[in-house]
Amino acid sequence: MESVILKFDAGVLILEGLEGLELAPFVRQDPRTGEWVAPAYRYLELVTFFSRRGIPFQDCAQSYNKDLNLRLSLNEEFRPYDYQIEALECWLEAGGRGTVILPTGAGKTYVALKAIEATSRSTLVVAPTIALMHQWYRHLARAFSIEVGILGGGEHQVKDITVTTYESAYRQVCKRYGNRFGLLVFDEVHNLPTQQFSHIPEMTIAPFRLGLTATYEREDGAHRLLGELLGRVVYRRTVSGLRGVQLSDYDTVLIRVELTPEERQEYESQSQIYFAFLRKNKLNPYLDWDKFIKLHGQDPEARQAGLARGRMLEIVAGAQNKMFKLGELLRRHAVEQTLIFTRDNASVYRISREFLVPAITHQTKALERKEILDRFASGEYRAMVASDVLNEGIDVPGASVAIIFGGDASQRKHIQRLGRILRRKKGKFAVLYEIITRNTLERTISWRRRQVEAYRGLLVPGLSKAATMVKDDLQQESALLF
Amino acid sequence: MISSKNLRFYFKGREVKPAFIDPLDPEYLSMARHLIALYASHQGRKRGEVESSLRAYESYKTDYKIVRGLAELLEENQRARFVKVSPVDPLVLRRCIYSLAARSYPIVAEPDLVYRTTRHGVLEQAAREFSLTMDEVQAAMYTDLEENQILVEFDANIDPERLLHRYNLALAQGILYYAKEMRFYVASHYKTIFKFIKNRRLMHTISPAHAGGYLVKIDGRYSIFRHTILYGLEMARVLPALLLCPRWHLEADIDLSGYGFEGCLRLNHLSGLKTHYQEEREFDSRWEEGFAIKFEKSFGRSKKRDWVLRREDEIIDLKGSVLIPDFSLTHKDGRRALLEIVGFWTPQYLQRKMEKLCRAERNDIVIAVSKKLVCSVEDFSELRGELLFFSGNAPRINEVLERAERCAVK
C-alpha cells in the first residue's frame, strides 16, 4: 500500500495519495488546485485518524524540534504554589491542550515554563504587547539558558523557542512558520478570539496548546471559539482564594504643582481656543470625543481646537515644576526602587536626560530592555522611566515607589501601573505618587483614572500616612466635582 | 503605500469609494511641490525636524491626512533615507552613563551635603571615557531614536503630478488591505499580472470571458476555510499590475467591519488611476523577439497571409500555477495553435517548463526547442503537441507553420 503524503503550505495541510481511502470528515478538495486539504490545526486529529486506521503516511508537514531536552532552572528560593502545580497537572492530563485561568499576579508564567519543559517541543509564546513579549524573552532566556528568538518590534529571528506578539504572529507566523512549533502558549488568551488573531491557532499545526488568562470570558461570547482551537478550560482559580497573599500594602499620594507664569500664559491662550470650540458646538470632551475627532477632517476650527488641546497637554507634560518635584521625590526615596511613568515618549527621554536614569519606550530593543530590567531587578539601577510600555504585566518585584509623571484617563492603565509596585515581597510597603499641574486638564484626567475600585476606601485613609511633604487639596477637588 | 490611519474613503450604499484627489488641481500640485521641497531642504537634518516642519505645514488644514499620505509616499522605496549618525554606539554610551549615575544615585542638578554627584559631573566623566565633548555626549546619548535619525539622502526627482497619481493609487490599494477576495477582468499583460499573483503567494481561479480575455478571482491559501482579510495586503500589490492593461475592471469584497461596513470596491480603466509599475520588456527572450520580427517581415503586410500571430493571449490554467505560451497562431479558417519557444535557460528552468508543458496536456501546441540546449527527443517523450528543434536566433517560420497546420484545432 502506497503511503499518504502529508505536506504543509502556508497554514494548510495538503494530502497526497488519498485515492480510494476513507476521508477524515474535515478533509476537503480545494477547487482551485484539486488538492485535498485540511486546516493546519487539524494536524493532530489527522495523524491520529491515519494511525487508528492503520493507514501508512509520510509526514512532510511537521518541521519542529520534538526533543529540545529542556531543563528549567529557577531561583533556588522559588517554591511553586500548590495551585500552580495543580494547573500544570490538569493541563497535561488534558493532553497538553487547554486554558488555565489564574488571577493577575498569581504566577501564570511558571505554569507556562513548566509546560514548555514538559513538552520539550519547539515553542511559540504569543503575548499581547511588545513589552510583555520582551518580558517573556527575559524569563525564557533565564529559565532555559537557551537562545530565544523574537518576532516583532522590528526584530525577526525564529528559534526553537520564540516570543512574538498577536499582531506579528498574525502577520508572519500564520503564513510562514505554521509548522515550525509543537507548542503554542497564548498569554492573555482573551485577546485571541478575534477574526484576525484566531488565524494564529488555526494556521499552525502545534499539537500542544496552552492559553493563560485571568479574564477568560469575553462580552462578545467569542471565547467559545477557544475550545476548538486550544482545548477546554482545564483549570480555574478565582481571585478570592488568593487575596491578601499576593499584594503589598500601599499608599497613594497626589501632588499638585503650579505652572510657571510663562507656561500658564500659553496654556490659557490655547485653553481658550479649545474650550470656546467645545462650548460653541456644545460638545462634551469625554462623551463626544469620537465626534470631535471626526470633525478634524471637516472643520478647520475643530482641527485648530484639537491642536490647541495637544499643545495644552505638551505644556502640562513639560511643566518645569513637575520636573523639580520629581527631583525631590527621587531624593526622598533614594534608597528605594522607583518607577517613573509618563504620558508621552518625549517626557521619558527628557527625564532620562535630566536625571540620567534608564529609559524604556516602544523604541527600546529587546536586548537593552532586558539589560535595564535585569539591572533594575538586581538593584544596580534604582530608578527607571517609561511611558505606557511597562504598564502591563511587567515584573519588577523590587519596585516600591511609582511616580505618575503623566498619564491619560484610562482606569485600566492606572490599575496596571499601580500593580507594578504591588508585587508581593516580604515586608514591602508601596507608595504611588501622582504629580499633576493645578488648574489644568490634568486635574480631570487624573480624577477620572482614579475612579476605580482599588481606590475606594484606600485613597483617603492612605493619604495621611505618607503625605508628610504633600499639601493636598482633595477637598477643593471634591467640591469641584460633586 | 499609505498606512491605514491616513487612508481616506467614503461609503455609498454597498460600495466603498476612495476619496481620490484631482492630480491636476493646482492646490494639490502646489502641496506636492511644497512637500518635495520640504524633504529636499531637510537633508542632513533629524527626522524629528522633518516631522515638525510637516506639522507646521499642516497647520489647521482639515486635509492633513493628504499631507501625511503624500509624505509617506515620498519616503517609500528608499526615496528618503534616514540613518543613525553617531560618533559612538549610543547603546554603549547610555550603559556607561546609567552605570556611572547609578553609582551615586540620585543625580542632582546642584550638589548638596547628602548628594554630591551632579549631572554635569557624570556627563563629564562619560565624555572623558569616550573622548568626546560634553555637547557631543549629550547629543549622542539617543542618536538611535527614530526622531534623531538623519535624513541623509532624498531623491527629489519626482514629478508632482506623478506623486498625486501615486497617491490615488495608494488610496485604492489601501482599501484592498481589507479585501477578502478580488475579482478582475483583463485581456493582456497576463505574464506580468500572474508574476505578481505568484510572488505574493496568492491563488487564482480563472475563467475565459465571452469577448476574449479572462475573469480572474484571487484569494489566499486559507480562504477556502473561511473568508479573511489575511491576504489583503498582497492583493493590494497586484492592483498596479492590472493598470498596465488598456482595459480592465475589478471588484473586491471589502470587510471594513471597524466602520460597520461590508461591501465592495469597484474600479476600472476609467477610474483615472495610473500605475507606477514599469511596463515589462516586451519579450522575455531574444528568441521570441527574433521570431516575432521574422514573422512580421514575412507576413506583416501581406494580404495573403493565412496565419495571424499574437503574443501571450492565452492562459492555460494548471490549477495552482499557469502556463502562458509565448504566441498563438490563428488561421483565417478559425483553427488555432499555440507556440512556446524554449531557448537557453538554466536546467531548473527547463525542468519546470517541461513539467508545466506536460501538465498542460495540450495537443495544439508547438514546442520549439533551441539546439543549444543539449537535449534530445527522448527528453521530451512525455510531451504532447508538436516538437521542433531550431538553431540560430529563432525557429524557422515555415517549420513552425507546418507543425501548426498539423496540430491546430478549432
ipTM of predicted assembly, 2 dp: 0.84
Q: Please check whether residue A331 touches B, CB under 8 A.
A: yes
- For B145-156, what is the mean pLDDT? 95
Which of A206, A241, A276 is the last residue in one of the domains? Answer: A241
Query: Are B65 and A12 a contacting pair at CB < 8 A?
Result: no
Domain CATH code at residue A27: 3.40.1170.30
**Are A162 and A204 a contacting pair, CB within 8 Å?**
no
Angle at A200 between CA A194 and CA A205, to 5 degrees: 140
Same domain, A35 and A123: no
Per residue of chain A (482 residues), what is the pLDDT tens digit? 678 999 999 999 999 998 877 788 899 999 999 999 999 999 999 999 999 988 999 999 999 999 888 888 877 667 788 889 999 999 999 999 999 998 776 788 999 999 999 999 999 999 998 888 988 998 899 899 889 999 998 889 999 999 999 999 999 988 899 999 999 999 999 999 999 999 999 999 999 999 999 888 887 888 888 999 999 999 998 655 444 445 566 777 889 999 999 999 999 999 999 999 988 888 887 778 888 888 887 888 888 998 999 999 999 999 999 999 999 999 889 888 999 999 889 999 999 999 999 999 988 888 898 899 889 988 899 999 998 777 665 667 778 898 999 887 777 677 767 777 766 666 667 788 999 999 888 888 888 777 654 444 333 333 333 332 233 333 333 323 32
**CA–CA gap between residue B234 and residue B350 (Å, rounded):** 28
Same domain, A233 and A102: yes
User: Which of the given ranges, A432-446, B80-94, B285-299, has the highest pLDDT on average?
Assistant: B80-94
- B143 CB neighbours in chain A (<8 A) are none
Give the number of other Cβ atoms within 10 Å of residue B20's Cβ.
Answer: 18
For residue A64, being part of any structural domain is answered with no
CA atoms within 13 A on the CB side of A446: 25
Residue A324 Cα, gap to closest chain B Cα (Å): 10
Give the number of other Cβ atoms within 10 Å of residue B349's Cβ.
Answer: 12
The C-alpha cell at B214 is 479572462
Same domain, A282 and A371: no
State whether CATH 3.40.1350 applies to domain B286-407: yes
Q: Which residue has the higher pLDDT, A417 or B89?
A: B89
Query: Are B203 and A32 a contacting pair at CB < 8 A?
Result: yes
Find the CB nearest A349 among B60, B142, B205: B142
Residue A360 burial (C-beta neighbours within 10 Å; 0-12, 13-18, 19+) = buried
- B144 CB neighbours in chain A (<8 A) are 363
Question: Model confidence over B31-83: pLDDT tens digits?
Answer: 999 999 999 999 999 999 999 999 999 988 888 999 999 999 999 988 999 99
Q: Please check whether residue B62 touches A, CB under 8 A.
A: yes
Which of A211, A241, A271 is the last residue in one of the domains? Answer: A241
Same domain, A346 and A442: yes
- For residue B30, is pLDDT > 80? yes
Query: Are A296 and B61 a contacting pair at CB < 8 A?
Result: no
Q: What is the CA radius of gyration of chain B?
A: 30
Look up the domain containing A279 and give its range: 261-315
Query: Are A331 and B114 a contacting pair at CB < 8 A?
Result: yes
Same domain, A112 and A21: no
Same domain, A341 and A419: yes
The pLDDT, as a whole number, for residue A400 is 85
In which region does residue A107 sit, left (phi positive, over 0), alpha (psi from -120 to 50) or beta (all else)?
left
For residue A292, being part of any structural domain is answered with yes
Give the C-alpha distances (Å, rounded to integers) separating A56 from A39, A47, A49: 21, 10, 11
- A178 CB neighbours in chain B (<8 A) are none
Res. B196 pLDDT band, cuts 50 70 90: very high
Query: Are B101 and A356 a contacting pair at CB < 8 A?
Result: yes
Give the number of other Cβ atoms within 10 Å of residue B277's Cβ.
Answer: 15
Find the CB nearest A300 among B60, B145, B225: B60
| CATH tag, B177-273 | 3.30.70
**Are A270 and A440 a contacting pair, CB within 8 Å?**
no
Same domain, A103 and A172: yes
**CA–CA gap between residue A123 and residue A279 (Å, rounded):** 56
For residue A75, being part of any structural domain is answered with no
- 3-state DSSP call for residue B328? strand
Among candidate residues A344, A238, A327, A105, the one with its CA nearest the CA of residue B115: A327
For residue A76, being part of any structural domain is answered with no
Query: Are B109 and A327 a contacting pair at CB < 8 A?
Result: yes
Interface of A with B in 228-287 (CB under 8 A): none
For residue A70, being part of any structural domain is answered with no
Backbone phi and psi for residue B164, each to the nearest 5 degrees, phi listed first: -70, -35
Find the CB nearest B201 among A10, A35, A382: A10
**CA–CA gap between residue A312 and residue A308 (Å, rounded):** 6
Residue A441 Cα, gap to closest chain B Cα (Å): 22
For residue A77, being part of any structural domain is answered with no
- Count up the domains in chain A and report the number: 4
For residue A69, being part of any structural domain is answered with no
Residue A144 makes CB contacts below 8 A (sequence gap 6+) with A70, A71, A72, A73, A113, A116, A117, A161
Domain CATH code at residue A324: 3.40.50.300
Give the C-alpha distances (Å, rounded to integers) separating A81 from A17, A136, A186, A247: 51, 20, 21, 15
Q: Where are the domains of chain B?
A: 90-142, 177-273, 286-407
Strands A97-101 and A233-236 turn out to be: parallel
Q: Please check whether residue B122 touches A, CB under 8 A.
A: yes
Interface of B with A in 245-274 (CB under 8 A): 257
**What is the percent of chain B where pLDDT is above 90?**
65
Q: What is the DSSP string of A248-295?
A: -EEEEEEEEEPPPHHHHHHHHHHHHHHHHHHHHTT--TTTTHHHHHHH
Same domain, A166 and A203: yes
**A412-416, B150-154, B205-209, B402-406: the lowest-pLDDT one:** A412-416
Same domain, A215 and A199: yes
| CA B310 to the chain's CA centroid | 27
Q: What share of chain A is helix, strand, coil (3-state, %, to 5)?
A: 45, 20, 40
**Are A94 and A87 a contacting pair, CB within 8 Å?**
no
Tell which of A171, A356, A367 to mutate to test the B interface (max B CBs under 10 Å).
A356
Query: Are B221 and A12 a contacting pair at CB < 8 A?
Result: yes
Angle at B147 between CA B141 and CA B148, to 5 degrees: 40
For residue A71, being part of any structural domain is answered with no
Q: What's the sign of the alpha-carbon dihedral A408, A412, A414, A416?
A: negative
Backbone phi and psi for residue B100, each to the nearest 5 degrees, phi listed first: -60, -45
**CA–CA gap between residue A372 and residue A376 (Å, rounded):** 6
Q: Please check whether residue A304 touches B, CB under 8 A.
A: yes
Q: How far apart are the first and last CA of chain A?
A: 82
Residue A357 Cα, gap to closest chain B Cα (Å): 6
**Are B264 and B15 a contacting pair, CB within 8 Å?**
yes
Same domain, A122 and A235: yes
